[in-house]
Amino acid sequence: MWLTVLIFVAAFPLAAQRYHITYTPNSQEGLMLQLIEQLDGAAKIQQMEEFLKRYPTHPSVAWIYAYMQDYFTRTNDVDRALAAGEKLFTLNPDDLETAVYNQKLAEKKGTPELVAKWTDLATKSAQKLIGAPKPFYITQEEWNKRLAYAGGLINQGDYALYKKAMEAEQVKDRIQLFQELIKTAPNSIYTVQAYPHLMAAYRTSGMNDSALSIAEKILAKDVDNEEALLTVAQVNLDRRTNYPRVITVANRLLSLGQESKKPENFSAEEWNKRRTFYAGAAYTLLGNANVFQNNFEAADRAFRAALPYIKGNAQAEASAYFYIGWSNYYLEKYKEAAAYFKMCMSMPSPFQQQAVRQLDGMKREKRIFED
């Protein structure tokens, strides 16, 4: 894509060559323009500036600004080149090439606000061009080139915004940039890629309603998207609601793990890690959903099934040990319950003190007998 864009940038003529000088012969302005044509360098610029003062609305003004933008770029006077480009774009807001020229000048100047301004204007100009009919004075071949050039710029702008969002250090900034991408380019390939990252950012920020909304949008187009399925189940579980959906989703994740084949872009190690992660998450979801519904036999089975997949994740293991102990306590399997509470107690976690209290309570209730 980038090579295509660069080729088209190089293939398009400079702004000065896209505008033409025009005047009435023997008129005052015509004589002045004839003189300007014969001059070069600083003298030419001086006469152009004088012409702009005298005839600010003359049809040749665009040609002058285009020439000045090119001249000041070549002489490395970025500020005056940008000023000329600004005037030219004001005269012709649909001039895509001028917007791109100004974007490059803003990048050279190193002013982020100007870069953002002209990147936005270049993208909007490209979008206008793509939606416009072919002018009668342009050949189909030339029009196809312009459309390809505009399309490349739009993709480049979408990618730049996507990349900026991915690199944002603050979650709130990441969310804002992804939202901007989705709003301005809903059909972009980068918007499709942005949805899972935005969903994760919402979860990190505790914006669970928004995360759930994005997850449902993803599933509307990709019913087996594992990240979205996991988010839907986790949000509902956090809310202690809709346990049947949590269980359905968890079982679907387990089925996908058995049905899915390793994509070519995954190594065997990467694929096994992914399958292990989702299996552990699915069994944990099943265990929690059943515990919260007092289905202790099902909870016990699910958490035990999760253990091989969550090994090494101390927090997940401690949680599983605690709930296996909890389930066995209510199943009146007290020795089994005590054994798992002890395992939970041996691991630093939010469940550690709860396991201690449960074990002490079992001793007081004489459910177990220990020295």
**Model pLDDT for residues 11-51, shown as the tens digit of each residue:** 343 344 568 888 888 899 999 999 999 999 999 999 999 99
Task: Retrieve residue 257's tokens.
Answer: 């793990």
The yes-or-no verdict on residue 234 having pLDDT over 60 is yes
Q: According to the model, what pLDDT value does residue 130 have?
A: 66
Mean pLDDT in the chain? 87
Task: Retrieve residue 137's tokens.
Answer: 């004075």
**pLDDT, tens digit (0-9, with 9 covering 90-100), for 150-208:** 777 767 777 778 888 898 999 999 999 999 889 888 877 778 889 999 999 999 999 99
How far is residue 117's CA from residue 214's CA, in Å, rounded to a whole number?
29
Task: Retrieve residue 13's tokens.
Answer: 């003529």
Closest by Cα among 28, 95, 6, 91 to 57: 91
The yes-or-no verdict on residue 148 having pLDDT over 60 is yes
Q: According to the model, what pLDDT value does residue 18 have?
A: 67
Q: What is the pTM of this model?
A: 0.64
pLDDT > 90 in the chain, percent: 61
Q: According to the model, what pLDDT value does residue 346 have?
A: 94
**Residues for the chain: how many in total?**
371
Contacts for 158 with CB less than 8 Å, ≥ 6 apart: 181, 185, 188, 189, 190, 191
Q: According to the model, what pLDDT value does residue 333 have?
A: 95
Q: What is the mean pLDDT of residues 103-128?
A: 84
pLDDT > 70 in the chain, percent: 92
**pLDDT, tens digit (0-9, with 9 covering 90-100), for 298-326:** 999 999 999 999 999 999 999 999 999 99
Of the two residues 318 and 7, the one the predictor is more confident about is 318
Q: Domains in the chain, start-ordered, CATH in brackets?
A: 2-20+60-163 (1.25.40), 168-206 (no CATH), 212-311 (no CATH), 321-371 (no CATH)
Q: How many CB atoms lie within 10 A of CB 252?
A: 16
